[in-house]
Amino acid sequence: MIEFKDIKKSFGPKLVLDGVSHVMETGKANLIIGSSGSGKTVLQKCLVGLLEPDEGSISYDGMNFIDMTQEHRKELRQQIGMLFQGSALFDSMTVEDNVKFPLDMFTKGNNSTKLKRVNEVLARVNLEGVNKKYPSEISGGMKKRVGIARAIVLTPKYLFCDEPNSGLDPQTSMLIDKLIYEITREFNMTTIINTHDMNSVMEIGDNILYMKDGRKEWTGNSKDIIFSKNIALNEFIFASEFLQDAKNMRMLEAEGKIDPNDIAHQ
Amino acid sequence: MNFFTHFGRYLLMIKGMMSRPENTKLYWKEFMHQCSEIGVGSLGIVSIISIFMGAVSTVQTAYQLVSPLIPLTTIAQIVRDTVILEFAPTLVCIVLAGVVGSKIASELGNMRVSEQIDALEIMGINTKTYLIMPKIAAAILMIPLLVILAMVLGIYGGRLAGTAAGILSTDTFDKGLMDNFKAYNVFFSLMKAYTFAFIISSIPAYYGYYVKGGSLEIGRSSTSSVVVSCVMILLADYVLAALLL
Ligand SMILES: Nc1ncnc2c1ncn2[C@@H]1O[C@H](COP(=O)(O)OP(=O)(O)OP(=O)(O)O)[C@@H](O)[C@H]1O
Ligand SMILES: [Mg+2]
């Protein structure tokens, strides 16, 4: 569980986070959604300590993160996996070496067991046969998946994903969502995902934090979102007419005004 | 930012670099990799400039010493001493500041801008120790070796040019080389080489590690790092000469 209170962060005169508080729950997919520039990436970076918040408190399972010593943070970080928005693969290393790097650095054991683990995670993100390629030789979506593989190779306790499925086709995107969700459940991780993908929100949104202009605007889960009366949220999520229709349909269905079987038969 | 903020942050970087490696084997691998990048990677350019600077100093010394009263062996002595004292350490290190320094700055700058440094940091790795220390250590090991090579090749180049231009025979040159040889000069030159090696690796590392922005800034900081390193080399050159000679 990661709990943070009143996080404030500004860059020069620009206030990016204006007192955000929330609890990220263990064993659930915690989503941070919000339009581009609303401060999702900055919030995630504050949570892991890549940026120091100006104000506020952060605790990891009760441990105060803000006052932690560098040494202690280093230890904690060995239990954190992170996927960066731009993938951040090591471009001097092959795909295989990228994913193997955390294993080499923090685990003992022989090379073949490590390679086995590497191939296992690469298979889980649906990437096979690119082991010997360099990051510059694979597509953006593939880089994302290598980034995910690298983040989960040590099965971290806390997993941070900054837009894991931007730039992926809908099918691969679903696969990645499912994978993240599965491992979150399986290993009881605290997973935090930044996204603006509506499929992810509906499929895996256990605990959603909607941010607007650096503030918490709404929280709830994927079921609540359909019935939410929050105007900003509605405009953000159901941006297209198509989605608006879908939402209305669901609401009518819930109110018992239409029978879902009717729709299926038409 | 002013000079003092930079200098303070530079010192903090050096201090932050001194920590226990998370995994000795990987650090060793990185160190070896840097040794080959810095040492082997610069062999060609160092060889070429050393041979030519030796050759040019023979020809020009001969041109300046026209008096029949001065024995020809003096030419060899002068070439030997200038190559050992100044050309091999200083000139070679200035060139290496361009070759090695810009490589270090742009490599680290690229890693910073593409968040690779953050990715390492988030894994729980001390990035200053992992990325900077092996580079500085490799430079301190390899650059003095390159300077020794430059001394040998420089003198050899002078000897070749001396005979090729018909200025003095190899026998005379070799005899001059033995006259008044002071081992202290070699020691002094190596002191310079160690100092310059530290400058060439740590200053570009600082500029690269703290880059902010995008690819434009990487280029800019790599240029500044080379300029600053060169100035620092010349400054240190003077200070060492004033102190040790
Ligand atoms: N290092 C920085 N320096 C200055 N301003 C920054 C910095 N990083 C982010 N910002 C500003 O903070 C705001 C929020 O940025 P952030 O990257 O968190 O957005 P985001 O919600 O992740 O958007 P996206 O969905 O496009 O990734 C932006 O207005 C951006 O200009
Ligand atoms: Mg972002």
- Tokens representing A50? 């890549």
The answer to whether the CB atoms of B26 and A104 lie below 8 A apart is yes
Q: Compute the nearest-CA separation of B36 from chain A (Å).
A: 15
- Tokens representing A228? 């939410």
Environment class of A233 (CB within 10 Å of its CB; exposed 0-12, middle 13-18, buried 19+)? buried
Write down the pTM of the prediction: 0.91
pLDDT at A160: 96
**Residue B4 domain-assigned?**
no
Residues within 5 Å of ion ligand 2 by Cβ?
A: A 41, 85
ipTM for the assembly: 0.90
pLDDT at A262: 64
Report the C-alpha gap between B101 and B93 in whole angstroms.
10
For the cut 70, the answer to whether the pLDDT of residue A253 exceeds it is: yes
Report the C-alpha gap between B108 and A55 in whole angstroms.
30
What rounded mean pLDDT belongs to chain A? 91
DSSP assigned state of B5: H
- Residue whose Cα lies nearest atom 28 of ligand 1: it is A37
Over residues A210-222, the mean pLDDT reads 92
- Residue whose Cα lies nearest atom 29 of ligand 1: it is A37
Q: Which chain B residue shows the shortest CA-CA distance from A72?
A: B124
Domains in chain B, number: 1
pLDDT at A223: 87
pLDDT at A263: 58
Mutate to test the pocket of ligand 1, among A8, A38, A51, A162 (most ligand atoms within 8 A of CB): A38
Report the C-alpha gap between A27 and A24 in whole angstroms.
10
pLDDT band at A239 (very low <50, low <70, confident <90, very high): confident
Distance A29 CA to ligand 1 centre (A): 23
For the cut 90, the answer to whether the pLDDT of residue A196 exceeds it is: no
Q: Compute the nearest-CA separation of A48 from chain B (Å).
A: 7
Give B59 or A227, the one with higher predicted confidence. B59
**Residue B80 domain-assigned?**
yes
Lowest-confidence pick of A2-6, A49-53, A143-147, A221-225: A221-225
Across the beta sheet with A215-220, the strand order is A80-83, A158-162, A190-195, A29-33, A207-212, A215-220
pLDDT at B51: 96
**Residue B3 domain-assigned?**
no
pLDDT band at A264 (very low <50, low <70, confident <90, very high): low
pLDDT at A260: 63
Residue the block writes with tokens 């060995």: A78
How many Cβ atoms from other residues are within 10 Å of residue A64's Cβ? 11
**Residue B68 domain-assigned?**
yes
List helix spans (H) across chain A.
Answer: 40-48, 70-77, 95-106, 111-124, 140-152, 170-186, 198-204, 222-227, 231-237, 241-254, 260-265
**Residue B10 domain-assigned?**
no
Interface mutation vs chain A, best among B27, B104, B115, most A CBs within 10 Å:
B115
For the cut 60, the answer to whether the pLDDT of residue A86 exceeds it is: yes
**Residue B2 domain-assigned?**
no
Amino acid at B142: M
Interface mutation vs chain A, best among B20, B123, B128, most A CBs within 10 Å:
B123
Which residues of chain A does B129 touch, with a Cβ-Cβ cutoff of 8 Å?
none
CATH topology of domain A2-79+156-220: Rossmann fold (3.40.50)
Judged by its nearest atom, the ligand closest to the C-alpha of residue A18 is 1
pLDDT at B2: 86
Which residues of chain B does A90 touch, with a Cβ-Cβ cutoff of 8 Å?
111, 116, 119
- Tokens representing A66? 């803000």
DSSP assigned state of A216: E
Please check whether residue B165 is in contact with residue B60, taking contact to mean a CB–CB distance below 8 angstroms.
no
What sign for the dihedral angle of Cα A66, A68, A69, A71?
negative
For the cut 90, the answer to whether the pLDDT of residue A234 exceeds it is: no
Report the C-alpha gap between A87 and B119 in whole angstroms.
9
pLDDT band at A66 (very low <50, low <70, confident <90, very high): very high
Residue the block writes with tokens 């742009």: B106
Question: The domain containing residue B82 runs over which residues?
Answer: 23-244
Lowest-confidence pick of A137-141, A198-202, A262-266, B34-38: A262-266
| Minimum-distance ligand 1 atom for the alpha carbon of A38 | 21
Closest residue to A75, CB basis, from B119, B122, B124 = B124
DSSP string spanning A77-139? HTTEEEE-TT----TTS-HHHHHHHHHHHH--S-HHHHHHHHHHHHHHTT--S-TT--GGGS-
Closest residue to A82, CB basis, from B110, B122, B125 = B122
The answer to whether the CB atoms of A86 and B114 lie below 8 A apart is yes
pLDDT at B65: 85
Give A15 or B2, the one with higher predicted confidence. A15
3-state percent helix, strand, coil for chain B, nearest multiple of 5 = 85, 0, 15
Residues with C-beta less than 6 Å from any ligand 1 atom: A 11, 16, 34, 36-42, 85
pLDDT at A265: 56
Please, which residues have CB within 8 angstroms of residue B240's CB and are 6 or more apart in sequence? B188, B191, B192, B195
Closest residue to A74, CB basis, from B23, B116, B126 = B126
Query: How many A×B Cβ pairs under 8 Å?
Result: 53
- Residue whose Cα lies nearest atom 26 of ligand 1: it is A36
Distance A196 CA to ligand 2 centre (A): 10
Q: Give me the tens of pLDDT residue by residue for chain B, a chain 245 residues long.
A: 788 999 999 999 999 999 999 999 999 999 999 999 999 999 999 999 999 999 999 999 999 887 888 888 999 999 999 999 999 999 999 999 999 999 999 999 999 999 999 999 999 999 999 999 999 999 999 999 999 999 999 999 999 999 998 888 999 999 999 988 899 999 999 999 999 999 999 999 999 999 999 999 999 999 999 999 999 999 999 999 999 88
Please check whether residue B80 is in contact with residue B42, taking contact to mean a CB–CB distance below 8 angstroms.
no
Interface mutation vs chain B, best among A75, A105, A146, A153, most B CBs within 10 Å:
A105
Residue the block writes with tokens 């971290």: A156
| Radius of gyration, CA atoms only, chain B | 21
> In chain A, where are the structural domains located?
2-79+156-220, 90-154
**Residue B130 domain-assigned?**
yes
Burial per residue of A72-85, b for 16 or more beta-carbon CB atoms within 10 angstroms, e otherwise: ebbebbbbbbbbbb
